[in-house]
Amino acid sequence: MTRKQSSGLKLRNVKTGRQSTLKVDGAFVAVGLMPNSRSFCSILELDNAGYIITDHGLATSAPGIFAAGDIRRNSPRQIATVGGDGVTAAMSTFKYL
């Protein structure tokens, strides 16, 4: 069985309904731009956009709570940095304990 490989994105104009294809070699998918931090707003300091404020060791405004990844302010929001954030937060937690 032969499988046709796609080389573009199918687009639909939401106002006109017109469909088109955009030729691309690859794509990055973003799943939202708002941090899911609402449940922390009463215990942690958040910035105006809802991101958790951390220091250079990823400590938050609450002692013993650390934040890593896209939920923290100033995160580059790249998958490559999430692992590094996790290591930094873990090392900071170890020092805290």
Task: Indicate the pTM of the whole model.
Answer: 0.67
The size of the chain, in residues, is 97
DSSP H helix total and E strand total for the chain: 1, 2
Query: Could you give the CA distance from residue 26 to residue 55 in angstroms, rounded to a whole number?
Result: 35
Beta-carbon contacts of 37 under 8 Å, excluding residues fewer than 6 positions away, are 44, 46, 50, 51, 52, 71
Q: Does a structural domain hold residue 66? A: yes
Q: Does a structural domain hold residue 24? A: no
Question: Phi and psi for 20 in degrees, rounded to 5?
Answer: -150, 170
Q: What domain range is 73 assigned to?
A: 38-96
Q: Does a structural domain hold residue 54? A: yes
Q: Does a structural domain hold residue 67? A: yes
Question: Is pLDDT at 6 greater than 70 in this prediction?
Answer: no
pLDDT at position 2 is 61
Domain count, the chain: 1
Domain with residue 42: its CATH number is 3.50.50.60
What is the rounded average pLDDT for all residues in the chain?
A: 89
Q: How many CB atoms lie within 10 A of CB 85?
A: 20
Q: Does a structural domain hold residue 65? A: yes
Where is average pLDDT lowest: 23-32, 39-48, 50-59?
23-32
Q: Does a structural domain hold residue 50? A: yes
